[in-house]
Chain A
């Protein structure tokens, strides 16, 4: 029984990691005032690029770097369209998803089923890893899991405890007032959309370099959309995103453990999506009652006040 519990916890953490990485990125972009619905596409593009490069160079780290770059590259298109050309953010994000999924199909066509040697494997931490139950559940993960946890805390500190973090948050709340404090809104938003894309790419890289590790067509399987929902669920707060992604990771894993009890796998597969919907309602109602609302300027293109 303890074996089972340890295994459920361990797999939930692994399943939640790509969700958390992606959500951190989307939080940054949305805090700056730009919604990016292209996460699914950036993830898929990151996953396939990372896998291809890791396979080629035999280095998992170079693969991850390539995944990050791939996500940032796609996000740059979104940044130009929505920030510079003030295109609609919803539509541009969908275009990104479409393009990213298409690219991953084209690039990945010869990578399907190839085994990967250069991958991120679980660490062997002395002492801590030998502890009963929690050793296996908490201390046997790959380095990226711990890196993501660190990034979560650092991003929280950045957003809430630094001056530049304050500028990012106010860019999403009241860009006009922020610009009067000599912050270049266009530049800042471009930058954080691209950084958000880098995170989404890394999330994809985690899937193809650590979580699976392989390239499977359609392997992102809607995780990008869960990231978008988790961002709202987390009320744009990195620490809440950690809690939220653990919950969703648990649901992903839970469906496999419930399957032997005769419950239709398809009905179980609905759970993460239904839970996300519930979370959206919770997030929306909480944000109106507790004053933790969405960034006020989210989704609104910013035009320098000449006219």
Chain B
């Protein structure tokens, strides 16, 4: 007699079809659950989704806005993908972005008018990148030196950075030309990134984001450093055994991802706002949304641009439903959270399958 039962079996090498379909299904499941919640709360999900889709992808203007938000998400997401591969949890990209914005503003206002435009812009981006990297190096140091959990420390530094930006715009940096608004003075015109007609999108950040995707893909797949990162992520013990310096790897990837977040901050200043403003205006939660971006790309820097466009669209959609349906901006987080939850559950489906095992029973 044969008895049979179902059991879960781990899959070590899931096929790309399996991965692809599961990811698509996960995203759809997350979005559908969100729609269900909207329905329960008395907001028509059809209207909400139509507004979100039309606002973010339905027009050239909307699509350019989506791309404007996808650029920082791509930059930050690609850096975070590398961090998360090493199981280093940089949750502080928001603060790193803000510090990049502060440094870029400082350089732009300080030396901007004395330099030719392109050099001034280069200086701003250099300063932004460096400041973001330094802000990320703090939790890296705390982790390596004292073993402090970097997820929590980097996150707390977000709040410190946001308060610091507010301190600057209400205090020492408050612009004399801003009619009492808490903004810094505007950057000299020569430092404004040229934008496409009728939008806030310019070609330079797009090129930067594309370059970052290519560069990080090459680093993570083709270099010794990329290999080290993977080994550290899979087993710090094995890494130590293989002579891979844990501390230096952690520092490098944190600094790298902080740098990318800092560049995103410089983009927001030079390309979008042209002055330092409220922290929540400089970044509409890019640092957090980029975490989802990295995960949707399955920690593969080469795919972050794709997931960044999706989440960029959701962010634009959040603005749209805020103005047209009177919902708080935070509501769009429902979709973000549910998509992430569905992806996490999907990861399990990708890595396991149900198999029916038949084995001879006790009867002989």
Please determine whether A106 and B328 come into contact, CB atoms closer than 8 angstroms.
yes
Question: A-B pairs with CB below 8 Å: how many?
Answer: 142
User: Does B63 lie at the interface of the complex (its beta carbon under 8 Å from any beta carbon of A)?
Assistant: no
Please determine whether A229 and B156 come into contact, CB atoms closer than 8 angstroms.
yes
Residues of B with C-beta under 8 A to A277: 142, 153, 156-157
Q: CA separation between A81 and B326, bound complex, in Å?
A: 33
User: Does B218 lie at the interface of the complex (its beta carbon under 8 Å from any beta carbon of A)?
Assistant: no
Q: Find residues 22-42 in chain B having any chain A CB closer than 8 Å to their own CB.
A: 37-38, 41
Q: 1/0 per position for A74-107, CB-CB distance to B under 8 A? A: 0001000100011110111011111111111111
User: Which residue of B43, B91, B344 is within 8 Å of A81 (Cβ)?
Assistant: B344
Interface size grouping (class) on chain B? 35 or more
Please determine whether B345 and A85 come into contact, CB atoms closer than 8 angstroms.
yes
Residues of B with C-beta under 8 A to A81: 341, 344-345
Residues of B with C-beta under 8 A to A92: 341, 344
Q: Find residues 105-156 in chain B having any chain A CB closer than 8 Å to their own CB.
A: 142, 146-149, 151-153, 155-156
User: Which residue of B91, B155, B330, B338 is within 8 Å of A105 (Cβ)?
Assistant: B330
Q: Find residues 94-129 in chain A having any chain B CB closer than 8 Å to their own CB.
A: 94-109
Please determine whether B148 and A99 come into contact, CB atoms closer than 8 angstroms.
no
State whether A90 and B151 are in contact (beta carbons under 8 Å apart), knowing that A99-B341, A100-B337, A270-B163 are contacts in the complex: yes
Residues of A with C-beta under 8 A to B49: none
The residue in chain B whose Cβ has the minimal distance to the Cβ of A87 is: B344
Please determine whether B345 and A87 come into contact, CB atoms closer than 8 angstroms.
yes
User: Does A183 lie at the interface of the complex (its beta carbon under 8 Å from any beta carbon of B)?
Assistant: no
DSSP class of A's interface residues: helix, strand, loop or mixed? helix
Q: CA separation between A92 and B347, bound complex, in Å?
A: 12
The residue in chain A whose Cβ has the minimal distance to the Cβ of B340 is: A95
Q: Distance (Å) between the CB of A147 and the closest chain B CB?
A: 28
Q: CA separation between A103 and B337, bound complex, in Å?
A: 10
B contact set with A: CB distance below 8 Å: 10, 37-38, 41, 43, 89, 91, 142, 146-149, 151-153, 155-157, 159-160, 163-164, 166-167, 170-171, 288, 291-292, 295, 326-338, 340-341, 344-345, 347-348
Please determine whether A98 and B328 come into contact, CB atoms closer than 8 angstroms.
no
The residue in chain B whose Cβ has the minimal distance to the Cβ of A99 is: B337
Residues of A with C-beta under 8 A to B157: 273, 277
Residues of A with C-beta under 8 A to B37: 103, 106
Q: List 22 A-B contacts (CB under 8 A).
A: A81-B344, A94-B340, A95-B344, A98-B288, A98-B292, A98-B333, A101-B330, A101-B333, A102-B331, A102-B334, A103-B334, A104-B330, A105-B327, A105-B333, A106-B37, A225-B156, A228-B152, A266-B163, A270-B164, A273-B159, A277-B156, A284-B149
